Amino acid sequence: MITDAPSTSASTRERPLALLGRVLYGSYTWLVFVLIALTLLLLLIVVPGVHRRRHMAGVASRLILRLCRVPLILKGVEHLPAGQCVVAANHASYIDAIVIKAVLPEHYAYVVKREMATVPLAGLLLTRLGTEFVERFNRHKGSLDARRVLRTATSGQSLLFFPEGTFVGEPGLLKFHSGAFKSAAYAGCPVVPCVIRGTREILPSPKFFPRPGAVEVELLPPVVAPTGMEPEDAARLLRERTRALILERVGEPDRG
């Protein structure tokens, strides 16, 4: 009892200090993000050319991570083909979009849920970056959006999907939707599985203040459907293989 008292007292003192440190770091990161995001938005409004705007967004994303002292480790960049492909990444946090923008080249377009188009400022920023918005809840609008994305894919545009469609607070890989893999199947291009680790620890849902941490992005070898396979069968095969590869490397349980 006597020997336990000092450690209990020290633990009691450490908790407020840890909370203060978290609030200070979180406030600093939000300040950095808001200032850089607003500056970027102003530039995107006036700068012509979607590829130029995407390059600026990549620079801004890398600057945010650097100023917030978030080490970013990139593995497997050699697996990105020179031509068209679809990148499919797991989704664990709001900062996944910043991380992916920091590592992918300018010729990749995001495919995100349509709700993001109505978010003040963020919707305008995503629109100026040539983002493809997809409806999730209205079946008719969703099918129209899916056909538009397919046309984008078949015209040669590389795409980035988060095929889970959303993320939750608990660790785990959710079920994959088929849109990314239908786009790849009909375009006849490979799918590059992308594993993101560390973002859930930095900003888990529904927490507001980010925590210090490191992020690792690993690009895996492309997944290609056999020649001559029907597009629907090819899409199913691409989805199953891509999810299995990401699940094997992400270090989280299967929640699909």
**Where residue 38 sits, what CATH number does that domain have?**
3.40.1130
Region 209-226 average pLDDT: 95
- 134 — pLDDT class (breaks 50, 70, 90): confident
Burial of 30 (0-12, 13-18, 19+ CB in 10 A): middle
State the total domains in the chain.
1
Amino acid 145: pLDDT: 66
User: Is residue 243 situated within a structural domain?
Assistant: yes
Give a yes or no: residue 159 inside a domain.
Answer: yes
Q: Give domain status of residue 255, yes or no.
A: no
Nearest CA-CA partner of 185 in 235, 150, 148:
235
> Considering the domain boundaries, does residue 256 fall inside one?
no
Residue 55 placed within a domain: yes
Instruction: Assess whether pLDDT exceeds 50 at residue 155.
Output: yes
- Specify if 215 maps to a domain: yes
Q: Which domain holds residue 38?
A: 4-250
- Where is 224: in which H helix or E strand? none
Rounded to an integer, what is the distance from CA 87 to the centroid of its chain?
10
Which range of 1-10, 11-20, 139-148, 162-171 scores highest in mean pLDDT? It is 162-171
**DSSP H or E stretch at residue 242:** helix 231-250
DSSP states of 41-68: HHHHHH---HHHHHHHHHHHHHHHHHHT
- Domain annotation covers residue 36: yes
Q: What is the pLDDT of residues 170-193, one digit of tens each?
A: 999 999 999 899 989 988 999 999
Report, as an integer, the average pLDDT of 17-44: 92
